[in-house]
Chains A and B, each alone.
Chain A
Amino acid sequence: MVALFRTGGTARIHMGSFEELYRAHVQAVFRFAMSVVGNRETAEDLTSEAFIALHRNLDAIDQSLLPAWLLTVVRNRARDLWRRKAVEERALGDLATSHHAASDAPALERWILDTPELRPIHRACLMLRYVHEMTRAEIARKLGLSETQVKGHLQYGLALLRKAYKTSEMV
């Protein structure tokens, strides 16, 4: 029972088994870390912290709890990061959580959200470029795409948009 709460001494762990666990779960942990912090460098830091915690607690952890245990470490560390960021950027305190009734959405918003030919990634690129006014490079960085991919998604979305208003679905 108390093994998990050891506070001193690091048990020597058979690296073979640790490495197997690392290889089995690193992609899932990294993917999750990317989804909570949005940039590779910080996601790698969180991933590495989670596996260091695993390494230190390996003999006390029920391995059937993996990767959930690792994701919990990432989530807790991410909360710490956001807490810190919220303190540093008082702007987060001004989050005027805007409420948007779907019923009063402009036609263009309804088109972006409802057009079945658009995939979520097309919608995200259109939103970030034309409403949140980002450069292609910024979008690429935020979404983890290449600029060429961003350009391709935008061209596809714009072609559909043009077709839509030419056939009077809009405007």
Chain B
Amino acid sequence: MKAPADGWDRDEREALGPLEDELSALRARHASDPSLELLRAANADALPPDLQARVSEHLADSAWSRQLVAGANEVDHTLDAASADRLLARITRSSDEPRSWSAFHRFWRPLLATAAAITIVASIVVMRRATAPAQQAPAAAAPQTTIARNEPPPFELPLHRPDVRLSVAALTWRGPSGAASLVDDLAPALDAFRASDYARAAQSLEPLERQYPGAIEPPFYRGISLLFLNDPAGAIDELQKAARLADSTFSSDVAWYLAVAEQRAGRTAAARVYLDAVCRTANAHSTDACDALKKLDGAR
């Protein structure tokens, strides 16, 4: 009989010897069960939607996995006084750091600055090219800088509709008594977005941007809607507004869609800046971003 790495003790050998076949059958039956960590997270509804759906389905069917979770949840985890004090000191230190050193400066400011610089350079190159024939006689073919390219790129970043999710700020927003919540106001627009009716989503989200200037959902989902409506320039405006709101929960998503929008606007270099940032940090798009960088490098 197979034993764990630390081996059976005598008690275990005696008790389990007669059950060898039963145990083998049980191991085979549960070999592809989700891990305990996944089961517990699903039980607390704390997984991303697709994973949550799959693991919840398993949990609903498997009394075995439900008991495993129940056992793990029976243990009461507490922070001792010293750990609680240490954590409070850490929280206070982090909270006292100027806000400027939070997500915005760490992630967005260098990115936006670099992308903006590339955009400006690209625009200048395009303008110079446009005015060149009037100023210069055509000469022998000169080497051309190709920062801005208007021809379709050989590799196009894929555009997928993300699962709709809401920021903590939206979920906990409270208005004047009796006022509808942000979540209620967002619902029709996000329903349209979910149904791939991007024209209606973009139209419904526009007034919400003015009504809730600090909420990230309207510019984020409007930006993606405009991308689907083949308006990359409009999408960039919206996504940059979302980026300025510096919600760290959305930062990698915003950067990914900015990369898609920049590439579709013909600014591959700016797209590359966003892809590079997404690739460097661990997030839902990092693998795609790293792959895309390789493909873009290969296409050069």
Q: Which residues of A contact B (CB under 8 A)?
A: 1-2, 4-10, 15, 19, 22-23, 26-27, 30-32, 34-38, 40, 43-44, 47-48, 51-53, 55-57, 61-62, 65, 69, 72-80, 82-84, 86-88, 92, 95-100, 102, 105-109, 112-113, 119-125, 127-137, 142-145, 154-155, 158, 161-162, 165, 170-171
Q: Which residues of A contact B299 (CB under 8 A)?
A: none
Tally inter-chain residue pairs, CB-CB below 8 A. Answer: 268
| B83 and A44 form a contact (CB under 8 A) | yes
| B92 and A158 form a contact (CB under 8 A) | no
Extra 8 A-B pairs, beta carbons < 8 Å, given A31-B76, A56-B99, A65-B172: A2-B212, A10-B95, A23-B84, A69-B172, A130-B23, A131-B30, A143-B71, A143-B72
Interface centre among A56, A78, A97 (most CB of B within 10 A): A97
Q: Which residues of B contact A37 (CB under 8 A)?
A: 37, 41
| B36 and A128 form a contact (CB under 8 A) | yes
A109 to B64, CA, bound (A): 8
Of B109-117, B119-127, B244-252, B269-277, which stretch is located at the interface?
Answer: B244-252
B97 to chain A, nearest CB (A): 9
| B68 and A124 form a contact (CB under 8 A) | yes
How many residues does chain B have at the interface if contact means C-beta atoms less than 8 Å apart? 92
| A7 and B64 form a contact (CB under 8 A) | no
| A30 and B79 form a contact (CB under 8 A) | yes
- Chain A, interface SS category: helix
| B63 and A120 form a contact (CB under 8 A) | no
Give 7 nearest A-B pairs by CB, closest first.
A5-B214, A124-B71, A120-B70, A55-B95, A120-B71, A36-B46, A78-B46
| B25 and A106 form a contact (CB under 8 A) | yes
Knowing A5-B169, A125-B71 touch, does A113 contact B244 (C-beta < 8 A)?
Answer: no
Interface centre among B64, B71, B176 (most CB of A within 10 A): B71
Q: Which residues of B contact A40 (CB under 8 A)?
A: 77
Chain B, residues 165-208, CB within 8 Å of chain A (1/0): the string is: 10111011111100100000000000000000000000000000
Q: Which single member of B63, B94, B95, B213 contacts A2 (CB below 8 Å)?
A: B213
A65 to B172, CA, bound (A): 8
| A26 and B84 form a contact (CB under 8 A) | yes
Tell me if B230 counts as interface (CB < 8 A to partner A). Answer: no
Tell me if B4 counts as interface (CB < 8 A to partner A). Answer: yes
| B67 and A119 form a contact (CB under 8 A) | no
A158 to B67, CA, bound (A): 18
Q: Which residues of A contact B283 (CB under 8 A)?
A: 80, 83-84, 87
Chain B, residues 108-149, CB within 8 Å of chain A (1/0): the string is: 000000000000000000000000000000000000000000
A72 to B249, CA, bound (A): 12
Q: Which residues of B contact A106 (CB under 8 A)?
A: 22, 25-26, 29
| A86 and B249 form a contact (CB under 8 A) | no
Q: Which residues of B contact A137 (CB under 8 A)?
A: 6
**A151 and chain B: residue at smallest CB distance:** B9
| B246 and A35 form a contact (CB under 8 A) | no
Q: Which residues of A contact B91 (CB under 8 A)?
A: 22, 48, 51-52, 55
Knowing A15-B92, A97-B54, A108-B26 touch, does A158 contact B41 (C-beta < 8 A)?
Answer: no
| B55 and A62 form a contact (CB under 8 A) | no
**A86 and chain B: residue at smallest CB distance:** B51
A25 to chain B, nearest CB (A): 11
| B40 and A35 form a contact (CB under 8 A) | yes
Q: Which single member of A7, A158, A171 contacts B245 (CB below 8 Å)?
A: A7
Q: Which residues of B contact A22 (CB under 8 A)?
A: 88, 91
Q: Which residues of B contact A131 (CB under 8 A)?
A: 23, 26-27, 30
Of B13-21, B150-158, B220-228, B232-240, which stretch is located at the interface?
Answer: B13-21
**A136 and chain B: residue at smallest CB distance:** B6
**A124 and chain B: residue at smallest CB distance:** B71
| A144 and B169 form a contact (CB under 8 A) | no
Q: Which residues of B contact A86 (CB under 8 A)?
A: 48, 51, 284
A154 to B4, CA, bound (A): 14
A97 to chain B, nearest CB (A): 4
A22 to B88, CA, bound (A): 8
B255 to chain A, nearest CB (A): 14
Q: Which residues of A contact B171 (CB under 8 A)?
A: 72
| A144 and B77 form a contact (CB under 8 A) | yes
Q: Which residues of B contact A95 (CB under 8 A)?
A: 32, 34, 38, 51, 54-55, 58
